[in-house]
Structure 1
Amino acid sequence: MRNQKRFAVNHRGGVGEIGSICNHGVIQPGTIGKTLCNHHMQNAAPIPASVVNRDLRGCVHEEELAKLLGVWLYPGRVLGSTRKEDIVQFHPDLKPGWDWITRHYERIGLEHSQNVIWDDSYEVAQDFPGYKLSTFFFGQMANQVRPDPVRLEITKAMNQKNKFIALARYLGVPTPKTWLFDCKSEVQDLKDFPYPCVLKISESVSGLGVVKCETREDLEGELNALASKVPFQIQEYLAGAVFPSVQYGISEKLIFIIETANILEGVMHAGNWGGEPMPYRPSTITWPLARALWQLGMKGWFSFDAAYWQGKYYVLECNPRYTGAAYPYNVAAKLGARFWIHKNYSSSCKSLEELDLGELEFGASNHGKSNTGCEGWILVNWGPLAAGEGKGGFLYVGSPERFRRFEERLINLLV
């Protein structure tokens, strides 16, 4: 699985590409070879027109929206996926948390890059021609420094839910009942849809473009508020469904990585979990899609979100990028975890230096010995806490039976 190519990681977050820049030619846990990681969010960050379940009055620019949602600080989460020889690019706003997070990772025995550039512009990649570029999303800006027009075209296409559903239908892969529209003027009669239903903006991320409509009046109100030329879909609501995902990677070969499960709060993404035994196997229907994307030029990390409903699997969308599950999975896999769960938690800490996980830190009871059998918490998405935003993405590694106890203790610590 490992080759000797180099990687450069830039997971910059904020405008355009949601996440950070880490053009991942990365496949199995973490980067492979020398990588420049830049997980900036350019070209994949949400835009105001793609958000239907938040009050965004007065927010008209991508930069404003990225700061409102906090995602501009997310690029730091790629650090745990890196190796010592990698280079990471971060925005200077993350610099106050660097010393804390590197000490944290050293205590728990997590290998990571020691080489940081406090500049998250893609142009930096031109200074490292011998490194692979790992990005959160391969968009226009990444393509300018590592040209791959075929990859760019399929990535942009699969970032649109409508085009993905059309591909799934063409390949005969099961989908929920879904109506596709290029604009709201195409909708004829609201009586044609089942209720409740789900309105999904074709190009959106993290559940921001998804809203459940209980009644015809709800749907009418959402459509009235929608911009006139925004493509969207209306999908049947799968009451009682669970939502697993399948993670794949492509460098030269197509590789199945892992199946994970999404944690939702309503329609919003709230976390992920994985490990053995995993009761859901959506990969039984996603392989034809993965193979098609490989043939069409997809590269790097990507995933399919699915639903398990009434004993059957259905595909919902493609994430043609590094996903929210990818970062904690890489950390958990590097530490040899058999079960993990990652969620976002609020904190009263105004900086990372105020946070002391103490005995809740992963491996704290092992005093630096082998990680075998260890449990506890690892901070993966540390950027928001580093910048004083009062939240962070924490990864629990241990046994599923003990998670609730550890979660309660973490919440009490963060208050």
Structure 2
Amino acid sequence: MNKKIYNHDIMICTHEAVRGNYLFSGRVLGTTEPEDLIQLHPDLKSQWQFITAHYDRIGLSHSKNVIWDVSHTLMSDYPDYDISVFIFGDVVDNHSNDHKWFHQIDPKWFEVVEYVNSKNNFIKLAEKLGVKVPQTKCFDTKTKIANWDDLIYPCYLKPAVSVDGVGIYRCQDQQQLKEALKEFDDKVPLQIQQEINSFNFLNLQYRINKQGLERFAATEQVLDGYAHQGNRYPTKHQPWSIVQPMAEWMYQQGMKEIFAFDVAVVETETEPSYYAIECNPRFNGASYPTGIAQKLQIPSWTCENFETKYRSLAEIDLKDIELDLSKQTGVIMVNWGTILMGKIGILLAGTVAQQKDLRTIIKQRL
């Protein structure tokens, strides 16, 4: 296996207004190996000794070779290492040095990410390849919306390229839709998508490595209302055939590493129906616990985000409930850097009943 340099800073794919996102670069640590390099935000230095001690206690291998700088172009200084990034491109600023650098080092990978990252391109490609999606109308600008009576409510109004979910509006009727459209610039491409009546959404992850395209994991999204709180594995739903044509197309176009599809489950009296909602041509929140769980061969887990009054891992004592690999139950800290903002992402391993007990204990201690 080739050694890698990891830089999973998400600021090239996130809205500046979202608090604490610059601290997310640490969540890839548990998926790395000792021979790898990892780039971390310098603010995470204060937590380094605590997270590495936690991983060492539970037997989770990881890189200890840290570069305390999240500049992507620094990766050029390590030509012997394969590159692993959160997203291969700069979604926020297409005039940045990062944007040019990504395009330069692997144009095919860069172009497929940029193409599929547009929700409008995703819909066009889905229709071309026969991938089942909700009824969706795509527009180059809001001024092109003409046939209002063709729209189905409730619906979602989305910019074609959404950064960190910002700018997505749920509209109950035409009046709400017209109000929401006022928030959009005249030149922004957008789409209006029929709401799927579902409380169950899947995340279907693929991975591309030297052997080719492989199915990485199917997880269920843990939701608080409409807000994504985490992921659960395993799931009884395995609708890989729905998105397989698009996964194969992306592979042929030059996609690399991990990418994932959001799929809605609609329960019927006979068997469920599945609809592809969008593709994230990059790592996502489910990728990190999945990588850790597969390394440690954990068969059942949930990864969730918790809020806490604490601002350092030193203040949190979870040692007695840390993962016991022999029993395949216990907790693993995944998104640990965000503790500086009072949030932490934790994997709960074990049966559903064991996960419930662990969740109760964690909430009491945070």
User: Normalised by the size of structure 1, how large is the TM-score?
Assistant: 0.81
Amino acid at match of 2:305: N
Of 219-228 and 157-166, deviating more is 219-228
From 222, 226, 231, the counterpart of 1:267: 226
1:206 Cα offset (Å): 4.5
Structure 2 match to 1:384: 338
Amino acid at match of 2:131: V
Aligned residue-pair number: 353
The structure-2 alpha-carbon separation of the partners of 1:205 and 1:327, relative to structure 1 and needing over 3 Å to count, comes to farther
The structure-2 alpha-carbon separation of the partners of 1:72 and 1:340, relative to structure 1 and needing over 3 Å to count, comes to same
1:157 Cα offset (Å): 0.6
Structure 1 match to 2:50: 100
Query: Any conservation in 2 of the 1:207–1:269 contact (CA below 8 Å)?
Result: no
The structure-2 alpha-carbon separation of the partners of 1:123 and 1:161, relative to structure 1 and needing over 3 Å to count, comes to same
From 200, 212, 223, the counterpart of 2:170: 212
Structure 2 match to 1:81: 31
Query: Any conservation in 1 of the 2:31–2:292 contact (CA below 8 Å)?
Result: yes
Of 140-149 and 337-346, deviating more is 140-149
Query: Any conservation in 1 of the 2:23–2:337 contact (CA below 8 Å)?
Result: yes
Structure 2 match to 1:304: 261
Question: Does residue 1:137 correspond to 2:87, yes or no?
Answer: yes
1:201 Cα offset (Å): 1.9
From 2, 5, 9, the counterpart of 2:2: 5
Structure 1 match to 2:14: 45
1:350 and 1:264 map into 2 onto residues whose CA distance is 25
Structure 1 match to 2:294: 333
The structure-2 alpha-carbon separation of the partners of 1:181 and 1:264, relative to structure 1 and needing over 3 Å to count, comes to farther
Structure-to-structure mapping, 1:5-44, within 5 angstroms: 5-14=2-11, 16=12, 44=13
1:245 and 1:12 map into 2 onto residues whose CA distance is 21
Query: Could you report, residue by residue, the CA deviation over 1:139-181 in whole angstroms, capped at 9, with x for unpaired residues?
Result: 1527626711111111101111110111010011111111111
1:336 Cα offset (Å): 1.4
2:140 and 2:70 map into 1 onto residues whose CA distance is 34
1:136 Cα offset (Å): 0.4
1:200 and 1:107 map into 2 onto residues whose CA distance is 44
State the 4+ residue runs in structure 1 displaced beyond 4 angstroms.
none
1:362 Cα offset (Å): 1.8
What secondary structure, in the 3-state scheme, does the structure 2 residue paired with 1:225 have?
coil
Query: Any conservation in 2 of the 1:80–1:110 contact (CA below 8 Å)?
Result: yes
2:148 and 2:344 map into 1 onto residues whose CA distance is 41
Structure 2 match to 1:200: 158
Structure-to-structure mapping, 1:92-171, within 5 angstroms: 92-139=42-89, 141=98, 144=101, 147-171=105-129
2:99 and 2:232 map into 1 onto residues whose CA distance is 30
2:261 and 2:148 map into 1 onto residues whose CA distance is 29
Structure 2 match to 1:404: 356
Query: Could you report, residue by residue, the CA deviation over 1:123-143 in whole angstroms, capped at 9, with x for unpaired residues?
Result: 321221100011000015276
Structure 2 match to 1:19: none
1:290 Cα offset (Å): 0.7
Of 181-190 and 342-351, deviating more is 181-190
What secondary structure, in the 3-state scheme, does the structure 2 residue paired with 1:133 have?
strand
Query: Any conservation in 2 of the 1:360–1:410 contact (CA below 8 Å)?
Result: no
The percentage of aligned residue pairs carrying the same residue is: 39
From 118, 134, 137, the counterpart of 1:176: 134
1:282 and 1:410 map into 2 onto residues whose CA distance is 33
1:179 and 1:116 map into 2 onto residues whose CA distance is 46
Structure 1 match to 2:315: 354
**Can you give the 5+ residue segments of structure 2 that lack an aligned partner in the other structure?**
91-97
From 284, 288, 312, the counterpart of 2:241: 284
Query: Could you report, residue by residue, the CA deviation over 1:44-86 in whole angstroms, capped at 9, with x for unpaired residues?
Result: 223xxxxxxxxxxxxxxxxx42xx3321111100000100100
Question: Does residue 1:373 correspond to 2:334, yes or no?
Answer: no
Of 78-87 and 187-196, deviating more is 187-196
Query: Any conservation in 1 of the 2:24–2:335 contact (CA below 8 Å)?
Result: yes
Query: Any conservation in 1 of the 2:301–2:355 contact (CA below 8 Å)?
Result: no
Query: Any conservation in 2 of the 1:207–1:268 contact (CA below 8 Å)?
Result: no
Structure 2 match to 1:236: 194
CA RMSD in angstroms comes to: 1.7
The structure-2 alpha-carbon separation of the partners of 1:217 and 1:265, relative to structure 1 and needing over 3 Å to count, comes to farther
1:138 and 1:350 map into 2 onto residues whose CA distance is 31
1:320 and 1:393 map into 2 onto residues whose CA distance is 22
Query: Could you report, residue by residue, the CA deviation over 1:85-143 in whole angstroms, capped at 9, with x for unpaired residues?
Result: 00100111111110000001011111100111111112321221100011000015276
1:313 and 1:13 map into 2 onto residues whose CA distance is 29
Structure 2 match to 1:323: 284
Amino acid at match of 1:128: Y
What secondary structure, in the 3-state scheme, does the structure 2 residue paired with 1:220 have?
helix
**Can you give the 5+ residue segments of structure 1 that lack an aligned partner in the other structure?**
17-43, 47-63, 364-370
The structure-2 alpha-carbon separation of the partners of 1:302 and 1:169, relative to structure 1 and needing over 3 Å to count, comes to same
Of 171-180 and 226-235, deviating more is 226-235
Query: Any conservation in 2 of the 1:207–1:267 contact (CA below 8 Å)?
Result: no
1:284 Cα offset (Å): 1.9
Of 224-233 and 91-100, deviating more is 224-233
Amino acid at match of 1:264: L
Query: Any conservation in 1 of the 2:198–2:265 contact (CA below 8 Å)?
Result: no
2:281 and 2:163 map into 1 onto residues whose CA distance is 11
What secondary structure, in the 3-state scheme, does the structure 1 residue paired with 2:200 have?
coil
User: Normalised by the size of structure 2, how large is the TM-score?
Assistant: 0.92
Amino acid at match of 1:265: D
Of 94-103 and 222-231, deviating more is 222-231
1:101 and 1:148 map into 2 onto residues whose CA distance is 33
Amino acid at match of 2:49: D
Query: Any conservation in 2 of the 1:199–1:213 contact (CA below 8 Å)?
Result: yes
